[in-house]
Structures are given as C-alpha cells and as structure tokens.
Amino acid sequence: MHIVLVLVLDTSTPAVTAAVADVTSTGQAVTAELRAVDGRAHGELMAPEIDQVLRQTGATVRDLRAIVAGTGPGPFTGLRVGLVTAASMGQTLGIPVYGVCSLDALGGVPGQVTLVATDARRREVYWALYDPTGTRIDGPHVDLPEVAAERAAAATVAVGDGALKYADRIGLKVLDEPRYPMVDAFVRLAADRVRGNAPGEPLTPLYLRRPDAVAAGGHKPVLR
C-alpha cells in the first residue's frame, strides 16, 4: 500500500500544533501530534514541535510528500508563523502545500447546527456556522460574541475556545471539546488533494481584519 507522509501545521489559535499523518488510498491516520497552548510563543514553539513529531515517527523532512496548513482565521502574528513555515518548507522540499480553514477543522457537532467560534482578541470571535452534516454554511466572520450569536441564530450548540471564553455572551450550550482545531480533521479535509497529488496552493491567510501593528504614517523629527 502506498503511504504518503504529510506534515500538518496550525497556529491560528493559542494552540501551536504540529503533526505527522499517513495518507493512503483508503484512509488516513495521525501518527504523531504535539500541541502547546501559548498565544505568545508561536514562533518559538513551531520548529521544535516539527522536529519532535518527525523524530517520533522516525522520519526526516525529506520523507515528507505534502504539507497541510491551517489558514485561519486567526490573529495576524500567530497565524503567519504557521503559514510562512509551511510555505517555506514546501518550496525548499519541492512538495505541495494545501490550506484548510482552521474553523473547518473544529467542524460541527453531528446532527446539530453548530456555531464554531475561536478567540479573535479585542473581545471578539472568529466564527462560522455548520449544518448537521458538518458542512460550513456561513462564515468565516469576525464579530462581537453576541453579534455572532445573533447572526448564527439557527445554531443549537457552540464549540471552540472563543465560545467557551464568551459563553455568557453567546447564550448557547457550549461543549468543552473540541476547543482547538483537530489534526485528524485537517488531514481528512485535505486527504483527497493529497491522494490525487494535486498541485500545491498559495496559502491565503484569513486575517479578516487589519493587524494591530501598522507602519508609521511618516517620520517624526528626532531633534528640535
């Protein structure tokens, strides 16, 4: 059976995730996974995690045949760490890179209309709405939690770290898990592209708003 070794990266939330998965013609399986929750250390954690998951599987970067990356939505600084890492590795290794919306990797609760919400900071959430089959039917968007709940009025349950953080403002039943995007979901959502050896894709980050830091509008005199 032909096995394609895939690296999975996601830095769209405070959870910095790296994993290795096997994709075959009949299925897929996660063989190693690391996740560290630290919203201020994406850059410091990403490379060591990649090294560790490869070591756990006895593989090297040269054994990889594809990379799957979470495209967000997520805060600018953290999200770009995973996307730049994935893009640069793909280019260096000459292998395809595929993007997956990180909210899709949280997915919906089977049989229910689900609001998926992650923390967008500034007391807002990134959110999307999923039908009972787990198909995204609205979003992604960024809004205040109560606005998200109003716009996703059909939802009967909510998941994600943003939903947990603002449960009192969302007004829905909020499940404890999943809290962060799931590696097996990333692999499943990209598996057909991996099996088909589809061309790599530009990784378009879903920032949804401007970064907090902006370039100065002009030069201020130092001496008076």
Q: Express each pLDDT in 20-68 by its tens digit.
A: 999 999 999 999 999 999 988 999 999 999 999 999 999 999 999 999 9
Nearest to 126 by CA among 136, 134, 135: 136
Strand order in the sheet with 97-100: 28-37, 15-23, 4-10, 66-70, 97-100
As for how many domains the chain has, the answer is 2
Same domain, 98 and 14: yes
Q: Would residue 202 count as lying in a domain?
A: no
Q: Would residue 154 count as lying in a domain?
A: yes
pLDDT tops 80 at residue 211:
no
Same domain, 98 and 141: no
Sign of CA dihedral 53, 162, 121, 129: positive
pLDDT tops 80 at residue 224:
no
pLDDT tops 90 at residue 135:
yes
For the ranges 170-184, 185-199, 204-218, the lowest mean pLDDT is seen at 204-218
Same domain, 70 and 26: yes
pLDDT-based confidence at residue 218 (cuts at 50, 70, 90): very low
More confident residue, 32 or 220: 32
More confident residue, 153 or 209: 153
| CB atoms closer than 10 angstroms to residue 201 | 15
**Residue 117 near residue 127, CB atoms below 8 Å:** yes
Same domain, 38 and 130: no
154 lies in which domain range? 114-174
